[in-house]
């Protein structure tokens, strides 16, 4: 089996603020990320799929199909957006990178069988680098 990882980038802004918490607690938990005006990141998303080598094509994953899926389900929805106000899934959920990884995984899983109608490849994991130091990863089997 091969694991094939593709790298994608998008820029988005957000504010980390949990409405069920008071202002002081939000400031204490989220620090400068709780700025009322928000802040932005240049996110790097790595999408990993796993599958056997196709002897006819020499590929384990059709990279063009993966690129179309990620562009349509993720990049178009998040690039140059305010996650809090322009992405409905984050109206009630704090748009942390952990929650963003879960949402990206859900979106890809919903479109996966259309992009890849056979048994293989399978979505393996999502990895997001929010900053050089803050990197988050989730396996697709951990997301409903």
Catalytic positions, please? 33, 80, 130
Asked whether the CA dihedral 111, 113, 117, 118 is positive or negative, the reply is: positive
Nearby residues of 134 by Cβ (< 8 Å), 6 or more positions away: 97
What contacts 115, CB < 8 A, 6 or more positions away? 65, 66, 68, 69
Q: Are strands 122-129 and 2-14 parallel, antiparallel or unpaired?
A: unpaired
Rounded to whole angstroms, what are the CA distances from 40 to 5, 18, 50, 53, 72? 25, 18, 32, 39, 22
């Amino acid at each position: 089996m091969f694991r094939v990882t593709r790298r994608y980038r998008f820029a988005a802004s957000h504010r980390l603020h949990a409405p069920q918490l008071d202002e002081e607690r939000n400031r204490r938990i989220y620090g400068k990320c709780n700025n009322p005006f928000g802040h932005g990141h240049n996110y790097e998303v790595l999408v990993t799929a796993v599958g056997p080598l196709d002897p006819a094509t020499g590929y384990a994953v059709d990279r063009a199909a993966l690129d179309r899926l990620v562009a349509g389900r993720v990049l178009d929805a998040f690039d140059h957006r305010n996650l809090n106000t322009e992405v409905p899934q984050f109206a009630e959920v704090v748009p942390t990178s952990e929650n963003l990884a879960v949402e990206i995984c859900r979106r890809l899983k919903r479109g996966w069988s259309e992009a890849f109608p056979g048994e293989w490849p399978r979505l393996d994991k999502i990895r997001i680098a929010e900053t050089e130091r803050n990197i988050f990863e989730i396996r697709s089997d951990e997301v409903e």
